[in-house]
């Protein structure tokens, strides 16, 4: 199974929505709070090519984008494939 990582902050409602959807879809994830974790913030900047908004999502270290891209992958039945469960 692939590793999904959500880069988020504690004040981001879309981050909360992203995590709720992942739980609903029964997809395990690791959350990295870039507002609390300086090493996580550096990883966030490197993996996302300097993205300035959250949430940002990686699967096995590959940046896939934010909430919109995640839901598109799910609607196109590509998320299960990327997660290794298809």
> Where exactly are the structural domains of the chain?
4-83
Q: Give pLDDT tens digits for 25-72.
A: 999 999 999 999 999 999 999 999 999 999 999 999 999 999 999 999
Q: Does domain 4-83 sit in CATH 3.40.50.1100? A: no
- CA 67, 69, 74 angle in degrees (round to 5)? 95
Distance CA 50, CA 25 (A): 28
DSSP type of residue 12: -
Q: Give pLDDT tens digits for 4-36.
A: 999 999 999 999 999 999 999 999 999 999 999
Distance CA 7, CA 9 (A): 7
Look at strands 56-59 and 62-65 and give their pairing: antiparallel
């Amino acid at each position: 199974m692939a590793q999904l990582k959500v880069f988020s902050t504690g004040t981001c409602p879309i981050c909360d929505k992203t995590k709720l959807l992942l739980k609903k879809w029964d997809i395990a994830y690791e959350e990295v709070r870039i507002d609390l974790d300086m090493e996580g913030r550096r990883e966030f900047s490197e993996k996302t090519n300097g993205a300035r908004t959250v949430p940002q999502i990686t699967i096995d270290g590959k940046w896939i984008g934010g909430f919109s891209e995640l839901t598109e992958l799910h609607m196109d039945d590509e998320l299960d494939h990327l997660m290794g469960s298809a």
